[in-house]
Every structure is written in structure tokens, then in C-alpha cells.
DNA sequence: ACTCTAGTGATAGTTGCCCTCCGCTTGCTA
DNA sequence: TAGCAAGCGGAGGGCAACTATCACTAGAGT
């Protein structure tokens, strides 16, 4: 029975994490599609280097397209940021599948570490994201759908305290991901402390 | 001996947390001093409402002064943000004194809760702060000087795990403070989980 | 191979904000 | 109460976001 539930959960992750519909439609014509890709690639780079405030005109220049083409595909800076962000979230959601093969608590923690690592690296990007936007809310929903089963499994095994919801766990992890740490290893260490808190029985 | 150490620590907090020297000097002439206060008050309000990107011209308008007056007192947006921030940090540092009268772990945790509450409310402000600036580094130093003795006391009493430094604890707390939580009560709850992790023996 | 249309880059213009310069005003001090 | 420096407000230059227009080109469909 538990096996059946787990398989069901696995199946869900695949469908639930499909975020493709949130993306700006990729143009059909070959040259236009090439431009679309070039803009996204240049944006990813520019946002990583200069933060979410990177000049759009420079992104267009780096992509080898006119500024009008950039705006035609991504009408606002926000839409562009979202489209870069969605890709990262999809990667993390996929990782939840692998985590299912580990022991309950180990699986949850491994996935959370992965989440912190990926999202933490994209911190300046996420800072430029509108937290009320459909895309952001959908990304969150997808992440919860990916992590929820992992948490429940660990709680059923009594390896994680029962008085926390996936929303609490994700916000704790998000906070550590977006917090400022001079070295990645310190973020790791602090995350470990926080995860020890998740293992502690309440009281 | 321990008593002596504690008193020494208490004495230190008072001198070490003096951040006044980091502030922009308040002008001597009466009208100029009034403007200085009005600008800081308007800035605090505007940053709280609109975040650290609030237009400086609007702050000047709200303060009832010309834009030039604002720039004369606070040459860059960063300096203005810092001056608002310093006030908050001073309040939190003061609070460390009261915490000394509680039991070791309770005192540390009470102070950390206070820190998260205060700094969390100023999150958009802190986001606009340059983390390399002298003012920011001094604020951090002052906070460490205030919290360090509390942590050490709790560790000596074996009520908090010994394998964490004040830098770890503060960064964990900062992350939770700057994380996004729809309700203050959820932040409280998540902080509790993290603090449970601090109480857990390592391993 | 040919057409025709979706898509393109360039450019010029508007807006909003940052920041500086400059001539006027106001409050201290004697 | 008079002189004068400290302080003032607003005009204006600069920069980046975003919009609109247009002559053109490359690819999709026949």
C-alpha cells in the first residue's frame, strides 16, 4: 500500500512540475527561435553577473539582437526574469525524483540541500522576482508538489518532527538559500543546524 | 571569576555598540538640523513603504525640502539607507543587555527573537545596503559584540551546541529575518525550529 | 523557385529618476 | 542690526527603460 502511494507520488511529480505553460512561447520561425534562445542565454549570464537590474539593452547587444526584438519576446523585465527562473526551478523539481530512492529523512535532506544550492546561487535573480506574479506562485506550487511527498514520507517514518508543514520547511530552506554567506561551506553548515531542528521532536 | 567575566562583557556592550560615529553629522544651524531630522523621518517611512528603491526626490518632497538639501546631507542613497539602518541596529544591541538577566539559553534565544523581529521588519531596507560598506561591517561587528557573550554563556552552560560560532548563529538568524514570510507568526515558528537545531548536540 | 508575411534592426522620442550646479535666502554672531 | 557664510530650492544635463515606426530580409508554404 505504501509502495502504491509512493509510486503515485512519483507519477504526480512528473505532471505537476510541468512549468512549460508559464514560459513565453518560443517562436516558430527558425531565425526567431534562435533569437529567443540567444536572449535567454544572454539574460541568464547578465543577471548572474550584474544582478536583476542588468540593463536590458546590454542583454540585447550580447544576444546579437536589437532591443525591439527583446521587448517583442519578453514585454517586461519581469517576464524575462521569470523565464530564466523557471528553468532553475524545473531542475530542482526533477531532483526530487532521485531523492525518493534514498531513506526517508536522507532523501528529504538531500533534496533540500540541492534546493538551497541551486536557488542560493540564483539569489540576485530571485530578488528581482515579483512574489505576487503567477509565474512565481506556480513555481512555488511546483516546488511544494515536489517536496511535499518527501516530507510526508519522512514524517510517516517518524524521522522528522510532525508539527511542520511543507510550507514551513520550504520557507526555512528559502531563507537560508537567499541569506548571505561568504562561503558556500558555511551555508552548508548552517543548513545542517537548521535541519537538525527539523529532526528534533517538538517540545 | 565567571561573574567578573560577565560584568566585563556587559560593560563592553555599552562601549562597543556605540555607532554614533558612523552617522552623518547633524548640522549646527537650527533650520538645517530640522531639515536633517525631517529627511531621516521621511526616508524611514518611504523605505518601509516602497523599499530601498524609493525615489529620493519623493523623500525630499515629503520632508518638505529641496532635492539638493537631501544630497547635501546624504551624498548617496547608500549613506541615507545606512543612517536609517544604524538606528535599528542600536536598538537591538541595547536589547542584549536585558537578555543577560535571563537563563543562558533563554537569554540567547530571546535576544535572537528580538533581532529577527526588528531586522525582519526592515528587510527591504537591508536589501539596499552595501554589504562591503564600513557602516554595514561596523553594524555587524556591534551585533556580534552584543550577541557573542550571550552565545558563549549558553555554550559554557552546555545548553547550546559547541560547534557553532556567533557568525553562524547570526547568519542563520539574519537569513530567517530577511526571508519572506506572509505572517510574522510563521517566521516565529520557523525560527523555533532553527533554534531547536542550535540546542541539538552535534552528530 | 517564388511569393508573401512574420519577424528584424535602427532610430528617434518620451518618461522618470539620479545627481550637480548656481544664484538666492536665512539664521547665527558680533 | 548688519554682515556673511552656511544653507537653500529648483533648473537642467544625463542615462536607462520602454514605445512606436519603418524599410528590410529570411524563412515557410505552395
Q: How far apart are CA B198 and CA A29, in angstroms?
A: 57
Please tell me chain B's helix, strand, coil percentages from 3-state DSSP, rounded to the nearest 5. 75, 0, 25
C-alpha cell at A4: 502504491
Give the CA distances from residue A26 to residues A38, A40, A136, B182, in Å, rounded to whole numbers and listed in that order.
12, 11, 20, 34
Closest nt to residue B57, judged CA to C1' = C17
**Distance, CA of A27 to C1' of C6, in Å:** 10
- Say whether B61 sits in a helix, a strand or coil: helix
Angstroms from A168 CA to nearest CA on chain B: 6
Based on its alpha-carbon atoms, the radius of gyration of chain B, rounded to whole angstroms, reads 19
End-to-end CA distance of chain B: 32
Closest nt to residue A36, judged CA to C1' = C7
| Dihedral (CA of A143, A144, A145, A150) sign | positive
Angstroms from A110 CA to nearest CA on chain B: 17
C-alpha cell at A50: 550584474
A63 contact partners, CB below 8 Å, separation of at least 6: A35, A38, A39, A41, A42, A43, A70
**Average pLDDT of adjacent 10-residue blocks, chain B of 203 residues:** 35 56 93 97 94 95 97 96 93 94 97 95 88 93 97 97 97 96 95 95 78
Q: How far does Cα A96 stand from its chain's mean position?
A: 11
Q: How far apart are CA B184 and CA B160, in angstroms?
A: 25
Give the CA distances from residue B158 to residues A196, B77, B113, B114, B163, in Å, rounded to whole numbers and listed in that order.
17, 45, 20, 22, 11
Q: How far apart are CA B151 and CA B159, in angstroms?
A: 10
C6 C1': nearest CA residue: A29
CB contact under 8 A, A168 and B189: yes
B171 chain-A contacts, CB cut-off 8 A: 179-181, 186, 190
**Chain A touched by B174 (CB under 8 Å):** yes
Q: Does residue B25 lie within 7 Å of nucleic acid chain C, judged by its CB? A: no
C-alpha cell at A117: 544550492
**Distance, CA of A22 to C1' of C9, in Å:** 28
Which one of A163, A197, A203 makes the best mutation probe of the B interface by having the most chain B beta carbons within 10 Å? A197
C-alpha cell at B167: 557568525
Q: How far apart are CA B54 and CA B61, in angstroms?
A: 12
Buried b (16+ CB within 10 A) or exposed e, B41-63: ebbbebbeeeebebebeebbebb
Q: How far apart are CA B20 and CA B138, in angstroms?
A: 11
- pLDDT given for residue A1 in this prediction: 35
**Distance, CA of B74 to C1' of D2, in Å:** 33
**Chain B touched by A183 (CB under 8 Å):** no
Residue among B171, B190, B199 minimizing CB distance to A181: B171
CB contact under 8 A, B193 and A198: yes
**Chain A touched by B180 (CB under 8 Å):** yes
Angstroms from A93 CA to nearest CA on chain B: 21
Angstroms from A180 CA to nearest CA on chain B: 7
Q: How far apart are CA A22 and CA A138, in angstroms?
A: 8
- pLDDT given for residue A76 in this prediction: 93
Q: Which of chain C's bases lie under 7 Å from a protein CB?
A: 6-12, 16-22, 26-28
**Chain B touched by A20 (CB under 8 Å):** no
**Distance, CA of B19 to C1' of D6, in Å:** 27
- pLDDT given for residue B17 in this prediction: 58
CB contact under 8 A, A190 and B175: yes
Nearest CA in chain A to B53: A53
- Write out residues in chain A with pLDDT < 70, as ranges: 1-17, 203
Give the CA distances from residue B66 to residues A134, B38, B72, in Å, rounded to whole numbers and listed in that order.
40, 12, 10
CB contact under 8 A, A198 and B198: no
**Helix and strand numbers, DSSP H then E, in chain B:** 10, 0
CB contact under 8 A, A171 and B190: yes
B20 DSSP assignment: G
**Distance, CA of A115 to C1' of C22, in Å:** 56
Q: How far apart are CA A175 and CA B93, in angstroms?
A: 23
B162 DSSP assignment: T
- pLDDT given for residue B87 in this prediction: 87
| Dihedral (CA of B28, B34, B37, B42) sign | negative
Q: Does residue B132 lie within 7 Å of nucleic acid chain D, judged by its CB? A: no
pTM: 0.86
B106 contact partners, CB below 8 Å, separation of at least 6: none
Nearest CA among A174, A129, A140, A132 for reference residue A16: A140
Nearest CA among B17, B200, B176 for reference residue B93: B17
Q: Which residue has the cell 556605540?
A: B18
Length of chain A in terms of residues written: 203
CA angle A23, A26, A27 (to 5 degrees): 150
Nearest CA among B107, B192, B116 for reference residue B150: B107
Amino acid at each position: 500500500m505504501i509502495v502504491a502511494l509512493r509510486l503515485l507520488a512519483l507519477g504526480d511529480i512528473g505532471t505537476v512540475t510541468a512549468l512549460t505553460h508559464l514560459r513565453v512561447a518560443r517562436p516558430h520561425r527558425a531565425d526567431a527561435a534562435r533569437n529567443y534562445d540567444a536572449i535567454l542565454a544572454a539574460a541568464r549570464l547578465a543577471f548572474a553577473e550584474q544582478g536583476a537590474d542588468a540593463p536590458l539593452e546590454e542583454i540585447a547587444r550580447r544576444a546579437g539582437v536589437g532591443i525591439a526584438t527583446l521587448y517583442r519576446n519578453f514585454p517586461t523585465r519581469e517576464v524575462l526574469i521569470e523565464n530564466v527562473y523557471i528553468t532553475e526551478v524545473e531542475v530542482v523539481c526533477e531532483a526530487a525524483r532521485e531523492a525518493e530512492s534514498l531513506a526517508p529523512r536522507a532523501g528529504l535532506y538531500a533534496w533540500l540541500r540541492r534546493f538551497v544550492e541551486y536557488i542560493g546561487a540564483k539569489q540576485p535573480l530571485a530578488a528581482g522576482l515579483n512574489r505576487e506574479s503567477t509565474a512565481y506562485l506556480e513555481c512555488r506550487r511546483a516546488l511544494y508538489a515536489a517536496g511535499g511527498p518527501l516530507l510526508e514520507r519522512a514524517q510517516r517514518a517518524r524521522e522528522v518532527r510532525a508539527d511542520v508543514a511543507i510550507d514551513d520547511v520550504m520557507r526555512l530552506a528559502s531563507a537560508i538559500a537567499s541569506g548571505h554567506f561568504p562561503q558556500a561551506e558555511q551555508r552548508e553548515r548552517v543548513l545542517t543546524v537548521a535541519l537538525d531542528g527539523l529532526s528534533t521532536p517538538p517540545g
